[in-house]
Amino acid sequence: MPGLINAHVHLFADGKPLSLSVSEGLLQFAYDRILNTKFGRNVLKKRMKRNALTALHAGVTTMRSVGEFFYTDVQLRDEINNGDFVGPNLLVSGFFLSVTGGHGAPFLALVGDSPWEARKNVRLNVKHGVDLIKICVTGGVTDAKMVGEAGRLQMTVEEVAAICDEAHKIGLRVAAHVESTEGVRIALQGGVDTIEHGSEMDDEIIRLYKNNPNALNGYTALIPTLQAAYPSASLDTSVTKVSATVKENSRLVYDSMLKGVKQAIENDITIGIGTDAAMPYVTHYDMWREMDHYMRQANLNNKQVIDMVTRTNAKILGVDDVTGTVDIGKHADLIIMEQNPLEHIEALSDISMVMVKGNLIQTPSVTRIKEVDDVLNISKRFMNDGYKSILNQVIGISALIIGMSTTMSSIWTSQYQIMFVIFLTLGGIIGQLINFENILSNIMTKFSSNGLNEGLTVAISLLCVGSIPILGPLQSALQGDNTFLQINTIFSGITSLVLTSTFGIGIIFSAFILLVIEVLVFFSADFLSVFMTTNIMNEITLIGGILALCTGLNILKITKIKVLNLLPVLFIPIFLL
């Protein structure tokens, strides 16, 4: 089949996570005294060459590099084109174009703070022989210092328009780093040719993608990088070693980017595939993971994603006349596998042979990074978000039905039909004074900061804290009624399935805590039986039904009721009746 085309890479790193946090002063020192020296530049060039060859041996015969130091990408491209070594087809951008304090500045970007300074920086990059221009319209996750900064607007529409005008007049495309809806709007209005990463869209944005008179070819394509944000956004920080700020920014960016991808598919917007290789947990040898991510999260099939990384990417990058398909007159950019990727996309992880421009690599070899692969393999086992959504809806609807049924059946047999309002009022006031919601939130924050499994605290809050774990064993012990125990078993099973798909098998430990709670309540029933008359038990069951109803409303995101702060309501009937 045709060789893969990666539309968004950086060659300066290999995807190993970097948890080191350093000051601006230390970064400046390292840049001036280490990286920006003859020795540092030589080390950087060797690393970039190694990463480019890793990608080639993994089946990527064409790659678009969108941000590197010192125009080293230009040097590598020229050496490949001159035949100094066999490497992938490289399209290069040199430095980013950014603003003062903007994404990538000052080390990886040329800084300009007006349309004319921006034009000057385009000309400087062109002078050094770049194939395209890369700009940063908004902030980014990697250098954001606070939550929300990743998508914050940094460039003006006038600056973007000046850059595009300067690049387009000599036939160069402009790629724009954008991670917010308003950033996408500004970039499209300015006339960029590709949106890198992307965000949620509105009707104006959809129209501009499809018909953009200021873009070089009359439309703008979207190049999302889902896999780059997903591990940091979804896995516990004890696994990824990222800060809470990075995790939250990753989550915000990923959620909005995924919405944008789905909107683009629904509205026939041109979409390519890039990986953002070099970012933490994004290697140069695993492009199939990004394709697999599209299949799981955007419901695309094997043929569609393969077409995107070959034919469509070639068209977006403007190289469809020489590569992207197997045709007469085009480069012999080919890959061979033992298995068919149309049947199993993971077949692309094991390339038997690679040919680039007719140069055959008979035994391609890739050195894998085990620590990255282990985390990504955990990530891959996560359940499709669509399935999670369905299961959450099942839990929510079930809680609503059970809550309504229990409430209605109990209220008709109640001897104090209006008293539940008083119970809720008094219990709610007590719960708000104690503020169980805040206590649990602080515990979860403390656990997370200590590196414990975040998923475990979530499971405890959902499975072990509430009306059903208390009401179930009470009813079973005092009335021989196992209804709520059975309900809790079903709820726990489905909820654990959803949480396990996100946080891993460690969720099983919440089962022990749930068991302890229910056993303690069950064996305390003899003591409680002194107080538990039939009428009181009926009132507690009524309250439990109301709380289950509230839980269902919360799960379905219809409203947000502080159910934990209502837990004291379960005990008010004992004291009042």
Q: Where are the domains of the chain?
A: 4-379, 383-576
User: Which residue type occupies 253?
Assistant: V
pLDDT at position 508 is 57
- Give the three-state DSSP class for 247: helix
User: Rounded distance, CA 65 to CA 134, Å?
Assistant: 9
Which of 170, 99, 93, 83 lies closest to 128, judged by CA? 93
Confidence of residue 461 (pLDDT cuts 50, 70, 90): very low
Over residues 33-39, mean pLDDT: 90
What is the distance of C-alpha 359 from the center of its chain? Answer: 37
Which of 440, 447, 434, 387 lies closest to 569, judged by CA? 434
pLDDT at position 364 is 96
For 93-105, the pLDDT digits (tens) are 999 999 999 999 9
DSSP assignment string, 416-475: STTHHHHHHHHHHHHHHHHTHHHHHHHHHHHHHHTT--HHHHHHIIIIISSHHHHHHHHH
Say whether pLDDT at 479 is over 80: no
Residue 5's beta-bridge partner residues?
A: 62
For 237-275, the pLDDT digits (tens) are 777 878 888 889 999 999 999 999 999 999 999 999 999
Say whether pLDDT at 381 is over 60: no
Say whether pLDDT at 162 is over 60: yes
Over residues 75-82, mean pLDDT: 98
pLDDT at position 568 is 82
Using CA atoms of 201, 202, 206, 209 in order, give the dihedral in degrees to the nearest 10: -60
Over residues 180-186, mean pLDDT: 97
Rounded to a whole number of angstroms, the CA Rg of the chain reads 28
Confidence of residue 515 (pLDDT cuts 50, 70, 90): low
Q: Say which residue, 451 or 148, is predicted with more confidence.
A: 148
| Among 141-155, 184-198, 361-375, 455-469, the range of highest mean pLDDT | 184-198
DSSP conformation class of 357 = T
Which of 144, 108, 148 lies closest to 125, judged by CA? 108
pLDDT at position 239 is 78
pLDDT at position 441 is 62
Question: Chain-wide mean pLDDT for the chain?
Answer: 85
Sign of the C-alpha dihedral computed for residues 365, 367, 370 and 371 taken in this order: negative
The continuous run of DSSP H or E covering 373 comes out as: helix 370-380
Over residues 309-320, mean pLDDT: 98
* β-sheet with 96-98: strand ranges across: 109-111, 96-98, 132-136, 173-178, 194-197, 221-223
Say whether pLDDT at 471 is over 70: no
The tokens for 456 are 């475990």
Over residues 199-215, mean pLDDT: 97
pLDDT at position 510 is 57
Q: What's phi and psi for 468, nearest 5 deg?
A: -65, -45
User: Rounded distance, CA 59 to CA 105, Å?
Assistant: 32
Say whether pLDDT at 387 is over 50: yes
User: Rounded distance, CA 281 to CA 303, Å?
Assistant: 26
Over residues 124-134, mean pLDDT: 98
| Percent residues over pLDDT 90 in the chain | 54
Lowest mean pLDDT across 26-40, 347-361, 424-438, 516-530: 516-530
Over residues 529-553, mean pLDDT: 76
Confidence of residue 193 (pLDDT cuts 50, 70, 90): very high
pLDDT at position 415 is 77
Lowest mean pLDDT across 5-9, 135-139, 342-346, 550-554: 550-554
Say whether pLDDT at 468 is over 60: no
Q: Are 423 and 573 in contact (CB under 8 A)?
A: yes
pLDDT at position 452 is 38
pLDDT at position 572 is 82
Q: What is the CB-side half-sphere exposure of residue 146 using CA atoms within 13 A?
A: 3
Query: For 267-362, where are the alpha helices, taking DSSP H only?
Result: 287-298, 302-307, 313-317
Class of the CATH-defined domain 4-379: alpha beta
Q: What's phi and psi for 193, nearest 5 deg?
A: -100, -25
Q: Are 48 and 87 in contact (CB under 8 A)?
A: no
With 0-12 CB in 10 A as exposed, 13-18 as middle and 19+ as buried, what is 268?
Answer: exposed
Whether the full predicted model's pTM is greater than 0.75, yes or no, is: no
Over residues 533-562, mean pLDDT: 78
Strand 359-361, strand 60-65: pairing: unpaired
| Among 368-382, 438-452, 464-478, the range of highest mean pLDDT | 368-382
pLDDT at position 403 is 78
**Crossing angle for the helix pair 226-234 and 287-298, to the nearest 10 degrees:** 70
Over residues 442-465, mean pLDDT: 47
pLDDT at position 512 is 62
Which of 465, 430, 468, 470 lies closest to 444, judged by CA? 465
